[in-house]
C-alpha cells in the first residue's frame, strides 16, 4: 500500500469533520435567510461571538488539512493522466484559488464578531461578505470537478486508478455547484444563499463526492501503478 496516499485520504476525512464543526459553531447550518432584517443578522454575530471565534479556528484547521488530501489526490490523478499532465497541473492551480474564499469567510465572520460596538450596518455587511464567499465560488467548483472528472475518464492505465463512475460523479457535482455563483441576484427562492440549488444541492453532493473520493483514494493506494510510482 502507498502509505502517503492513504494518509492523505485520512487527512481529508479529518478535515471534513473540522469544517462541519465550524459551520455548526457559526450557527449557519441551516443558513439564515438573506432577507433577514439587518439588525437581526448583525445580532447573530454579536451574540454568538465565542461560537464564531471557535468556528473560525476549526475552519482554519480543517481547510489546512485539505491541502495534504489534495496533494495525495494530485498524485493519483497524475498517474491516471500519464506522462504529460496538463489537466492535473490545471487542477493544482484551481484548488488553492477555490480554498482562498474559506480563509476569507473566516476573516469576515471574525471581524463581524470581534467588535460588538461596531455599527449594525458594518457588522451585517461583513457577515454578508462571509456568506457570499462561502457560497459564491460555484464556477470554481465547476472547473475543478469537471477537470477532475475528465482526468479520471481518460485514465491511460490498463487498470484505471479510479472507477469510471467517479469521473462522471465529479462532472455532475461540478455542474450542480454552478448555481451558487448567482446568489447576488436573489434574496429569496432556490437561488438565494440558503436556497435549494445554491446551497443545499451543492453541499450534499459535495459531501457525498468527497466521501466517495476518500474511499477511492484508499482503494488507489493499493493500485500496482501507485506502488511503482512510490519506488
What gap in Å lies between CA 75 and CA 167, rounded to an integer? 16
Average pLDDT of every residue of the chain: 91
Confidence band for 39, pLDDT divided at 50, 70 and 90: very high
pLDDT of residue 61: 92
The CA-atom distances, in angstroms, between 158 and each of 5, 28, 114, 116, 230 are 20, 46, 56, 60, 18
pLDDT at 20 over 60: yes
Q: pTM for the complete prediction?
A: 0.88
pLDDT of residue 228: 55
What gap in Å lies between CA 127 and CA 184, rounded to an integer? 14
Which tens digit of pLDDT belongs to each residue from 210-223?
999 999 999 999 99
What average pLDDT score do residues 195-199 get? 94
Residues spanned by the domain of 143: 3-227
Q: What total number of domains does the chain contain? A: 1
pLDDT of residue 231: 41
For residue 195 the three cell numbers come to: 436556497
Strands (E), the chain: none
pLDDT of residue 152: 95
Q: Are 16 and 210 in contact (CB under 8 A)?
A: yes
Q: Are 184 and 136 in contact (CB under 8 A)?
A: yes
- Cβ neighbors of 85 (< 8 A, separation 6 or more) are 77, 78
pLDDT of residue 230: 43
pLDDT at 30 over 60: yes
Amino acid at each position: 500500500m502507498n502509505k502517503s496516499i492513504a494518509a492523505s485520504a485520512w487527512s481529508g476525512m479529518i478535515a471534513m469533520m473540522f469544517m462541519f464543526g465550524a459551520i455548526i459553531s457559526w450557527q449557519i447550518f441551516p443558513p439564515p435567510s438573506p432577507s433577514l432584517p439587518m439588525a437581526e443578522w448583525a445580532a447573530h454575530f454579536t451574540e454568538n461571538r465565542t461560537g464564531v471565534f471557535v468556528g473560525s479556528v476549526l475552519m482554519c484547521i480543517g481547510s489546512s488539512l485539505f491541502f495534504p488530501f489534495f496533494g495525495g489526490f494530485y498524485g493519483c490523478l497524475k498517474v491516471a493522466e500519464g506522462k504529460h499532465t496538463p489537466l492535473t497541473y490545471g487542477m493544482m492551480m484551481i484548488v488553492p484559488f477555490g480554498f482562498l474564499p474559506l480563509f476569507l469567510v473566516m476573516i469576515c465572520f471574525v471581524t463581524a464578531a470581534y467588535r460588538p460596538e461596531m455599527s449594525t450596518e458594518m457588522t451585517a455587511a461583513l457577515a454578508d461578505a462571509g456568506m457570499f464567499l462561502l457560497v459564491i465560488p460555484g464556477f470554481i467548483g465547476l472547473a475543478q470537478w469537471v477537470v477532475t472528472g475528465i482526468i479520471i475518464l481518460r485514465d491511460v492505465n490498463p487498470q484505471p486508478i479510479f472507477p469510471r463512475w467517479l469521473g462522471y460523479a465529479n462532472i455532475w457535482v461540478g455542474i450542480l455547484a454552478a448555481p451558487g455563483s448567482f446568489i447576488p441576484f436573489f434574496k429569496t427562492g432556490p437561488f438565494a444563499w440558503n436556497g435549494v440549488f445554491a446551497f443545499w444541492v451543492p453541499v450534499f453532493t459535495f459531501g457525498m463526492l468527497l466521501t466517495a473520493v476518500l474511499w477511492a483514494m484508499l482503494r488507489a493506494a493499493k493500485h500496482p501503478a501507485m506502488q511503482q510510482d512510490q519506488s
